[in-house]
Amino acid sequence: MKIDEIASIILRGGVAAFPTETVYGLGALAFNQDAVKKIFDLKGRPADNPLIVHISATEQLQQFSDHIPEPVLSLIKNFWPGPLTLIFKKKPDVPDAVSGGLETVAVRMPAHPLALKLISKTGPLVAPSANKSGRPSPTRAAHVYEDFGDDFPVLDGGETDIGLESTVLDVTSEPYTILRPGKAEPEELQHVCGVSVAYSTKEDTRPPKSPGLKYTHYKPQAKVQWLSDFVQPRNKPVMFITHTEPALPTGENIIHYSFKDDFVQLARNLYDLFRMADQKNIFEIVIEDLPDETGQPLVAALKNRIEKAVG
């Protein structure tokens, strides 16, 4: 469907999926409570898991927050449009459905030209990843159809560039906290804004800052494990995903994807491989352990998503 038709469906209070540079999002008008509720219903998403508002121009941020800390202006300048979601104190008129009842709101400006064009026609959109809750985020239009059939239209922008969801950074208190690792990494964020940036720790016993963190995500049907924990194939289909050339079992039941130290490609393909494994009734997905210090982007985000799938 064409972008103008999609925009008019959204403007009438409907929903539609669109590509971003990270994953496909399921969009609805941020200030239309009924439209926002449709998203929760379609995804089967718990009502206390808030949504990210997507904007196409920095000025639109004023509609959602008037607490923009000074150092964050340089983050916005350097990282938007791009895969960085910022958590602000919200204005009172931001619908509760958007913020999941929290006092904060998540906002990002996506870098995909089709996303920016769509939002410039509709105004700010909430957009969770366009998958059913508990399924991997979609990196292709076909993934959206796989989960939802023709429940709503999809603006097809081909394969997404990054393949993993945006970094979520809480800037409501210092140090700024990464609630979800992504392509924008702590060192560069800290360097740009001059405020310390830390990963949220598991030891943190306060109520979950990001409600999404308490729900299971990214779990294919196959058992996912690290290569270092893998014992022996049991004559059932196994998918290996590697980045060096380790010795692997061979045989009819073995599928092997090799990424030769290209973590950007691995990130781009991870969710597609998870979905493929489901379709092929793969029994185990075995992923080669990732190195600690690579200096390469996306390794921390990959580790985080794979750990979640390992469970």
Q: Work out how close the CB of 22 gets to ligand TXA at its nearest, in angstroms, rounded to a whole number.
A: 3
Return the residues of window 123-142 that contact Mg ion according to CB under 5 A.
129
> Cis peptide before 220, with omega less than 30 degrees from 0?
no
State which H helix or E strand residue 85 sits in: strand 84-89
What is the DSSP-derived secondary structure letter of residue 213?
Answer: G
Binding pattern to ligand TXA, positions 153-192, x when CB under 6 A? ------------xx-x----------xx------------
Binding pattern to ligand TXA, positions 29-68, x when CB under 6 A? --------------------xxxx----------------
Q: Does 85 bind ligand TXA (CB under 6 A)?
A: yes
Distance set, CA 305 to CA 35, 219, 301 (Å) = 29, 9, 6
Q: Work out how close the CB of 244 gets to ligand TXA at its nearest, in angstroms, rounded to a whole number.
A: 29
Q: Work out how close the CB of 207 gets to ligand TXA at its nearest, in angstroms, rounded to a whole number.
A: 11
The answer to whether the beta carbons of residues 271 and 163 sit under 8 Å apart is yes
Give the burial class of 50: count Cβ atoms within 10 A of its Cβ; 0-12 exposed, 13-18 middle, 19 or more buried: buried
Binding pattern to ligand TXA, positions 210-239, x when CB under 6 A? xxx---------------------------
Nearer to Mg ion, 127 or 171 (CB): 127
What is the DSSP-derived secondary structure letter of residue 258?
Answer: E
Q: Work out how close the CB of 131 gets to ligand TXA at its nearest, in angstroms, rounded to a whole number.
A: 8
Residue nearest to ligand TXA (CB): 212
CA–CA distance, 139 with 269 (Å, rounded to integer): 8
- Each as own residue / partner, the long-range contacts of residues 290-294 (CB below 8 Å, 24 or more positions apart, any chain) are 290/243, 290/263, 294/263
- Which residue ranges make up the site for ligand TXA (CB under 6 A)? 20, 22-23, 25, 49-52, 85, 87, 99, 102, 104-106, 110, 127-129, 165-166, 168, 179-180, 209-212
